[in-house]
Amino acid sequence: MLTVTNLEVCYGAISALRDVSFTIEAGRIVTLIGGNGAGKTTTLRTISGLLRAKRGSITFKGEEITKLPPHQIVARGLCHVPEGRMVFSNLTVDENLAMGAYLQSDKARIAQNREYVFSIFPRLKERLTQAAGTLSGGEQQMLAIGRALMGDPKLLMLDEPSLGIAPKLISTIFEKIVEINRVQGITILLVEQNANLALEVSHDAYVLETGSIVMRGASADLRNNPELKAAYLGG
Amino acid sequence: MPKPHLYLLAALLAAFGLSYYSDRLDPYYLDVLTGIGINIILAVSLNLVNGYTGQFSLGHAGFMSVGAYLSAGVTLFLGPRLLGEDGGTAVTQGVLFFFALVAGGLGAALAGLLVGVPSLRLKGDYLALVTLGFGEIIRVIFQNVEFLGGALGLNGIPAYTTIFWVLAFGALAVFTVTCLVNSTYGRGFLATKDDEIAAEAVGLNTTRYKIVAFVVGAFFAGAAGGLYGHFKMTITPTGFDFTKSIEIVVMVILGGMGNTLGVILAAILLTLLPEVLRPIAEYRMILYSFLLIVLMISRPQGLFNFKFGRAKS
């Protein structure tokens, strides 16, 4: 579904990604793990067009999207939930969801997606008229995911959904991520610092270290990999 | 949502009614009222850029001057040819003035587009500096073009500005901004301000939103410039300098960024204040500045902003 080939990204003179290649099969949950500054967020932002690649190519559903602007990439069904629960804090929950459907024109489909978002995150329905900035961290993350689902994604990219959220809510959110994948068949690219959690819910995994992919494989295998265990899983 | 349309109609009728009885009003009050109206147009249009879209522009006086010169040019140079020797009837003058204002607005909007496209990729302070530079460049150009009167400016502009035109354009500016911001499309302005990355991630073309805000804002600044020129009957480049831009920015900040009603009230207050302080003559500007400082310290969210974030529609 998504193929990234020899991707190279620089911030000015500093190179952030070097020769990154990976593929995501339709219907899978794929995770990209790695420490701080490994290039995980950079990878996602480049795929969604927020950053420009210096070299390499990105193809989505067989189509080259490397040089497309973000809104055209979203229109093709590739939705990005940015890091740090970036909701529109001055807009209400309802309006945030409406913004998620910005590029959708099919009213019936929008209503259907809305109902689906409420079915997985009932909390959002209770807070519909509340300004998003007044929600708790976990609720904002739910809203950010819900907003992306309103865009009718084929591939959903989640950037650190566990960041700064109460542990109890983290498990709820990850359960929902698995459910979105299983029930709706939406392919998911999950970026996480919490490697344990990420390997638990995903099918395939890539390990990113200082801008390069250093390990790849089935998540179940990587969880038992002694090297990875020592580096990321705490023994 | 037909409510704003009703308000617009009511405001236009009120403008018409008021101008009908304007002969009986004290000319001084009429002048102050005209000044208030022009400032409302300027502040409300700048609020679309600085308040709702979150782009800090310091070039509003520049756009105003483009409109002022252009519309004065239309009535001064084209007017005599189109209206004939006798100067035309009230109706033909009105029609000419309307087109002069629209031309001024469109010219300013074009300037907004030319400045906006290359500079709106910049953020915060950088954008403020670019727009500030633009305003100064425009001023220097007007100052040095002989054809436009140079430093002396343009004189003898016909006094076409009546309270009707000011209120009508004021109502139109408020109506346009309100409708833009409260539409589904317009939520994009607020989203761009709230979080640009998230806005792009859900598929908004944030650059286009910024440019639209800039162009619409510039249009009304240009129209306000035209009204100003035909009100004062003379325009000079120094009338549109950096201080004028700051004055408008202060109205927006004082009213509360992204709060149209608050900005209107602030425009009224800040136009009246120097008039009320007139008796204390030379201390006036000191007190004016002092009041601004006190207001900013005590109510940084804007004088008229009572709710969290944006007022409900």
Using the predicted structure, report yes or no on whether residue A235 has a pLDDT greater than 60: no
Token pair in block for residue A138: 């976990």
Q: Which of A91, A134, A151 sits opposite B191 (nearest CB)?
A: A91
Task: Please report which confidence band the pLDDT of residue A37 belongs to, taking 50, 70 and 90 as the band edges.
Answer: confident
Q: Give pTM, 2 decimals.
A: 0.85
Q: Which of B191, B197, B203 sits opposite A75 (nearest CB)?
A: B203
User: What integer pLDDT is reported at residue B312 of this predicted model?
Assistant: 40
Task: Find chain B residues with C-beta within 8 A of A75's C-beta.
Answer: 203
**Which chain A residue lies closest to B198 (C-alpha atoms)?**
A86
**Which chain B residue lies closest to A145 (C-alpha atoms)?**
B202
Token pair in block for residue B58: 């310091």
User: What integer pLDDT is reported at residue A71 of this predicted model?
Assistant: 92
Token pair in block for residue B111: 């300037």
Task: Find chain B residues with C-beta within 8 A of A131's C-beta.
Answer: 308-309
Task: Please report which confidence band the pLDDT of residue A234 belongs to, taking 50, 70 and 90 as the band edges.
Answer: low
Least confidently predicted of B124-128, B173-177, B221-225: B124-128
A59-93 burial: b if 16+ Cβ within 10 Å, else e: ebeeeebbebebbebbbbbbbbbbbbbbbbbbbbb
Contacts of A150 (CB under 8 A, 6+ apart): A97, A98, A100, A101, A104, A110, A113, A114, A117
CB distance A155 to A186 below 8 Å:
yes
Å from A86 to nearest chain B CA? 6
CB distance A219 to A205 below 8 Å:
yes
User: What integer pLDDT is reported at residue A141 of this predicted model?
Assistant: 93
B270 lies within 8 A of chain A by CB? no
- Tell me phi and psi for residue A78, to 5 degrees: -115, 100
Answer yes or no: do A147 and B199 touch at CB < 8 A.
Answer: no
Contacts of A227 (CB under 8 A, 6+ apart): A215
Using the predicted structure, report yes or no on whether residue B311 has a pLDDT greater than 70: no
Q: By percentage, how much of chain B surpasses pLDDT 90?
A: 42
Least confidently predicted of A108-117, B88-97, B259-268, B282-291: B282-291
User: What integer pLDDT is reported at residue B308 of this predicted model?
Assistant: 44
Longest dimension (CA), chain B: 61
**Which chain A residue lies closest to B192 (C-alpha atoms)?**
A88
Task: Find chain B residues with C-beta within 8 A of A82's C-beta.
Answer: 197-198, 201
Mutate to test the interface with B, among A94, A99, A152 (most CBs of B within 10 A): A99
- Residue A76's identity, in one-letter code, is R
More confident residue, B215 or B122: B215
Q: Which letter does DSSP use for residue A84 in this model?
A: T
- What is the rounded distance in angstroms from the CA atom of residue B154 to the CA atom of residue B183? 40
Task: Please report which confidence band the pLDDT of residue B309 belongs to, taking 50, 70 and 90 as the band edges.
Answer: very low
| CA distance to A9, A15, A54, B127, B312, per residue, from A12 (Å) | 9, 8, 11, 21, 43
Burial label, A11 (beta-carbon count in 10 A; 0-12, 13-18, 19+): exposed
Domains contained in chain A, CATH given:
2-232 (3.40.50.300)
Helix locations, chain B, DSSP H: 3-20, 27-46, 60-73, 79-83, 90-119, 124-144, 163-182, 187-194, 196-201, 206-232, 242-255, 260-276, 284-298
B184 lies within 8 A of chain A by CB? yes
Answer yes or no: do A90 and B204 touch at CB < 8 A.
Answer: no
User: What integer pLDDT is reported at residue B172 of this predicted model?
Assistant: 93
Answer yes or no: do A82 and B193 touch at CB < 8 A.
Answer: no
Answer yes or no: do B195 and A86 touch at CB < 8 A.
Answer: yes
Q: Which of A81, A88, A102 sits opposite B203 (nearest CB)?
A: A102
Token pair in block for residue A135: 């929600």
**Which chain B residue lies closest to A149 (C-alpha atoms)?**
B202
- What is the rounded distance in angstroms from the CA atom of residue B65 to the CA atom of residue A70? 36
How far is Cα of residue B29 from the mean position of the Cα atoms in its chain?
21
Burial label, A146 (beta-carbon count in 10 A; 0-12, 13-18, 19+): buried
CB distance B193 to B54 below 8 Å:
yes
Answer yes or no: do A90 and B195 touch at CB < 8 A.
Answer: no
- Residue A82's identity, in one-letter code, is P
Task: Please report which confidence band the pLDDT of residue B306 belongs to, taking 50, 70 and 90 as the band edges.
Answer: low
Q: Which of B184, B199, B309 sits opposite A90 (nearest CB)?
A: B309
- What is the rounded distance in angstroms from the CA atom of residue B265 to the CA atom of residue B279? 23
Answer yes or no: do A87 and B199 touch at CB < 8 A.
Answer: no
Domain ranges of chain B: 3-241
Contacts of B64 (CB under 8 A, 6+ apart): B42, B108, B221, B222, B224, B225, B228, B240, B244
Average pLDDT over residues B118-124: 79
- What is the rounded distance in angstroms from the CA atom of residue B201 to the CA atom of residue A99? 10
**Which chain B residue lies closest to A90 (C-alpha atoms)?**
B309
B54 lies within 8 A of chain A by CB? no
Least confidently predicted of A165-179, B12-26, B192-206: B12-26
Helix (H) or strand (E) holding A78: strand A78-81
CA-nearest of A215, A211, A212 to A231 is A215
Q: Using DSSP bridges, classify how beta strands A29-33 and A204-209 pair: parallel, antiparallel or unpaired.
A: parallel
Token pair in block for residue B4: 């704003």
- What is the rounded distance in angstroms from the CA atom of residue A193 to the CA atom of residue A201? 14
Strand partners, A55: A8
Å from A149 to nearest chain B CA? 10
Using the predicted structure, report yes or no on whether residue B72 has a pLDDT greater than 90: yes
Q: How many helices (H) and strands (E) does chain A have?
A: 10, 10
Answer yes or no: do A71 and B195 touch at CB < 8 A.
Answer: no
CB distance A204 to A217 below 8 Å:
yes
Answer yes or no: do B200 and A89 touch at CB < 8 A.
Answer: no
ipTM for the predicted complex: 0.81
B283 lies within 8 A of chain A by CB? no
More confident residue, B19 or B247: B247
B204 lies within 8 A of chain A by CB? yes
- What is the rounded distance in angstroms from the CA atom of residue B241 to the CA atom of residue B222? 15
Task: Please report which confidence band the pLDDT of residue A125 belongs to, taking 50, 70 and 90 as the band edges.
Answer: very high
